[in-house]
Amino acid sequence: MTEPLQDIGRLLISCPDRPGIVAAISQFLLSQGGNIIHSDQHATEQVGGTFFMRVEFQLPHLIDRGEELERAFHAVADRFDMQWYMAYASRIKRLAVFVSKEEHALYELLWRCKMGDLPAEISMIISNHPNVETTVASWGIPFHYIPVEPDQKQEAEARQLQLMEGKIDAVVFARYMQIVTPKFVSRYPNRIINIHHSFLPAFVGAEPYTRAYERGVKIIGATAHYVTADLDGGPIIEQDVQRVNHRPNVKELKRVGQYVERVVLARAVTWHVEDRILVHGNKTVVFY
């Protein structure tokens, strides 16, 4: 049996680990009439570390009762010094997808949304190149061409931020080849996902396929991570790789890599919109 989406909630918490947390949370949900569907947890140490938990639950009329529920939960949260948030499965997250010239990663997201495999809404596509427009035209998604000139970066970002203001829940850099400012990053903390075209921390920076070719690696990879002020240094969400041999040249490596990139990014975005990721320092806990 499957419950209606509007009755499904997700509670994500992190707090110092000590006895009684699971009991308190499960007791709370039970007392409110909720039923736990999935529950995952992680502690960084057997004793004395940080505790992470994701509970997916079903609760009749959740959408109407959410505010009251969150208010009631404060007492539990305070007792254990929790950082927490409640998410509602029926509130589909709205994405702004940024892209430069290469369309493969964007396309994978569009396709997965259409298929129902990525439960999100792509609300707008922003590019510093005009060429993607023809591709996305048939999808009926607002497209904004915002060139980014070196001396007018701030103006471009201002326009981007204005377009997104109040309209989106997360930002996806689907091969967007511009470095954004700390101001931009701080507007969407842990809500900007980038796909880097290497197996980080190998080949940080530009031209990773060229450098992978030069180093003669036997495996290439891609990394999806949250964007922070530290370029290519944010918390890693997902990585995957593909075996290669001595045959591919740089162009062929890139082609192979693009199929890794699109899959890795799609997984990371899916986990984000399903509220499966908790950030802890410069790492992620991903419950999937």
Q: Which helix (H) or strand (E) holds 263?
A: helix 250-273
Shortest distance (Å) from residue 169 CB to a copy of itself: 23
Among 16, 38, 61, 230, binds a copy of itself (CB under 8 A): 38
CA distance 154 to 52: 38
Burial 134-166 (b: 16+ CB within 10 A, else e): eebeeeeeebeebebeeeeeeebbeebeebbee
List C-alpha distances in Å: 124 to 39, 61, 81, 220. Answer: 33, 31, 37, 31
Q: Residues 180, 158: contact at Cβ < 8 Å?
A: no
Task: By CB under 8 A, tell whether 170 contacts a copy of itself.
Answer: no
CB atoms within 10 A of CB 39: 16
- How many residues bind a copy of itself (CB under 8 A)? The answer is 66
Task: By CB under 8 A, tell whether 210 contacts a copy of itself.
Answer: no
Among 13, 14, 34, 250, binds a copy of itself (CB under 8 A): 34
Task: By CB under 8 A, tell whether 50 contacts a copy of itself.
Answer: no
Which is closer to a copy of itself, CB of 164 or CB of 195? 195
Among 138, 151, 166, 206, binds a copy of itself (CB under 8 A): 138
Shortest distance (Å) from residue 166 CB to a copy of itself: 31
Q: What are phi and psi of 101, to 5 degrees?
A: -85, -35
232 among known catalytic residues: yes
Q: Which residue has the tokens 């009439």?
A: 33
Among 90, 152, 210, 282, binds a copy of itself (CB under 8 A): 282
Q: Residues 58, 35: contact at Cβ < 8 Å?
A: yes
Shortest distance (Å) from residue 225 CB to a copy of itself: 9
Q: Where on the chain is the footprint of a copy of itself (CB under 8 A)?
A: 1-3, 18-23, 26-27, 29-30, 33-43, 45-49, 58, 104, 107, 111, 115, 117, 138, 199-203, 214-219, 221, 235-241, 245-247, 255, 259, 263, 282-286
